[in-house]
Structure 1
Amino acid sequence: MSAIATIGFGEAAQAFVSGWRSEDGVSLGQISTFDIKVETPSLRDNLRRACSDLDVTCGESPRQALAGAATVFSLVTADRALEAATNVTEFLGRDALYLDCNSCSPATKAAAARLVEAAGAVYVDVAVMSPVHPARHRTPLLLSGSEAKRAHNMLLSLGMKAEIAGDEVGQASSIKMLRSVMIKGLEALTAECMLAARRAGVEKAVLASLQASDPGIDWTARAAYNLERMIVHGRRRAAEMQEVAATLRELGLPDRMAAAAADWQRQIGELGITAPENSLEARADAILERNLT
């Protein structure tokens, strides 16, 4: 198989690579990456260690990482996706497959597509539809774009789980963005509801009322999970929710819920809390110990 490169080597890229390495019958060629953490002395050692652990070449520059790569996975934060495309397009091989897996609005994806295609490479809009753990490379993906079928075949060869959403860039990302209105909006509502209930000393009564109203959800477990997602991934989720808000504006609709959810995600993510034990009370208390305004 031809060489694979990733732009960004965070949680998603590492999950995909570790999954490929574990897949019986998958023949992997060289895998390389460029991550901007390599430019920061305090972050460089951990990046290189992660690359070494997964037998990935850690490029010192985009040019080095992308040399000879037939397939490039862009796996950065939503707010850096267009910047990443801008910085790497001149190093893409002609007809290389550029899989933009970032959580961005359709307009952002379209702008990145124009850059990639102007460089002679092939752009495919990829939406990652659930957390990358525990499924790793089998995390469900949606694909769209004129070459979505080509990307689909390539991903299947890596043991990945992908479906085609359409032949236009933006179709896959639209589904992801609008789903996030609900999923990450519910997380933000969880924080607002449960932190206030905990501070007022009525969280058990609130949870009991929610459980009685909608017994199909384990509200205590779901609330604990939602807070953990925000504590650990809030900054990244906030960047995605900004793209969700942009998507709503592109559709001529107000973005007030998505924008408020982005604020909650960012505020909790920036607290720098190490995720406490799997307990709603412990997670709520860890947040409430900080200065929330």
Structure 2
Amino acid sequence: MKLEHIGMVGYGEVGKIFAAGLKRSVTGVSAWDLKFDAAVASAAVRDAELAHAAQAGVRACPSMQAVCASADLVISAVTASNTLAVVQAAAPHIRPGAIFLDLNSASPGTKQQAAQLIDAAGAHYVEAGVMTSIPPYGIRVPMLLGGAQAGALADKLRGFGMDAKAVATTIGVASAIKMSRSVMIKGLEALVIESYTTARGYGVEEHVLPTLAETFPSIDWEKTGAYFFSRVAQHGKRRAEEMREAANTVREAGFEPWMAMAIAGKHDWVAQQSSDGVFDGLPKDASWQQYADRLLSKSRL
């Protein structure tokens, strides 16, 4: 498998990390993002994104067609709700024989629809289940791959320094693993935020957290709480989108996704608080108590 030119679709946090991490292993990396489009983004946002790409040695493309034109490997790193839309836009332009690697958190059914479009264009669709938060790991984040070319691609990506493992030749298995896990992990985040903030409101957190430590002694509940609050405050909107796809996954399995939809609602709510400025001014290393106090202050207004 020859992969010399990589095209990133989505130049947000994940796209920037992957572009920077893979650039040294290939001939060139190009990127396309709606923020590059003057008709969509403000001049300030567009200029900042183009400047970042130029400084990183990434070629900013003017369109989806342009980013697909020379790419042996197209990597999609957008929000969950845009998973299928990106594939629909890329399919008419992707090169025959190219690989389309979908990093997005979407249900097996969504990934199967996407695969049909890419395969019909003569390219090869590979789904990825990204199994934990990317920033601490960079391109070494553990990923499970699925699809006819998953094994060959996993071998190639490991040569680039990535932690990629093929789990199936069919589409949907990797997504099912990822989304089933997301119900638990994103659910735990939502539960921690609701439980801790409630305990803080009643002044009983010094009694509640030790009982959690007794039941689950391997978890640092103070540190975990701070991390969960900060990540949801920063990425709640994206996490809510992922949980709606997790709900689709549950539904596709034949269950009613009551929990997944409730988790999506909690993440959406925290994201709205962040958008409203509730957490403005908190330091990067803020404690969970500082986040909870801001939420309590807002609720008591």
Instruction: Determine if the TM-score, normalized by the shorter chain, exceeds 0.5.
Output: yes
| 1:30 and 2:28 correspond | yes
1:1-293 equivalent positions in 2, closer than 5 A = 1-21=3-23, 27-39=25-37, 40-41=41-42, 42-271=44-273, 272=275, 273-274=279-280, 276=283, 277-291=285-299
Structure 1 residue runs of 4 or more that deviate by more than 4 Å after TM superposition: none
Counterpart-to-counterpart distance in 2, 1:81 and 1:184:
19
2:132 and 2:142 in contact (8 A); partners too? yes
Counterpart-to-counterpart distance in 2, 1:292 and 1:234:
22
1:79 and 1:239 in contact (8 A); partners too? yes
1:52 positional shift? 1.6
Structure 1, unpaired ranges of 5+: none
1:142 positional shift? 0.4
2:8 and 2:19 in contact (8 A); partners too? no
Counterpart-to-counterpart distance in 2, 1:258 and 1:291:
24
SS at match of 1:270: helix
1:185 and 1:258 in contact (8 A); partners too? yes
SS at match of 1:104: coil
Query: What are the Cα deviations for residues 206-252 of structure 1, in whole angstroms up to 9, with x where unaligned?
Result: 11222223222111111111111110111100000000000000000
Query: What are the Cα deviations for residues 2-25 of structure 1, in whole angstroms up to 9, with x where unaligned?
Result: 21101101111111222234xxxx
1:17 and 1:137 in contact (8 A); partners too? no
**Count of aligned residue pairs for this structure pair:** 289
TM-score, normalising length: structure 2 = 0.91
1:53 positional shift? 2.4
2:151 and 2:165 in contact (8 A); partners too? no
Distance change (3 Å), C-alpha of 1:195 and 1:32: same
The code of the aligned residue for 1:74 comes to S
Distance change (3 Å), C-alpha of 1:157 and 1:265: same
- Identity percentage over the alignment? 37
SS at match of 2:46: helix
Distance change (3 Å), C-alpha of 1:200 and 1:84: same
1:134 positional shift? 2.1
SS at match of 1:69: coil
Counterpart-to-counterpart distance in 2, 1:49 and 1:269:
28
Moved more, 198-207 or 188-197: 198-207
The code of the aligned residue for 1:92 comes to I
TM-score, normalising length: structure 1 = 0.94
1:18 and 1:136 in contact (8 A); partners too? no
1:291 positional shift? 4.7
Structure 2, unpaired ranges of 5+: none
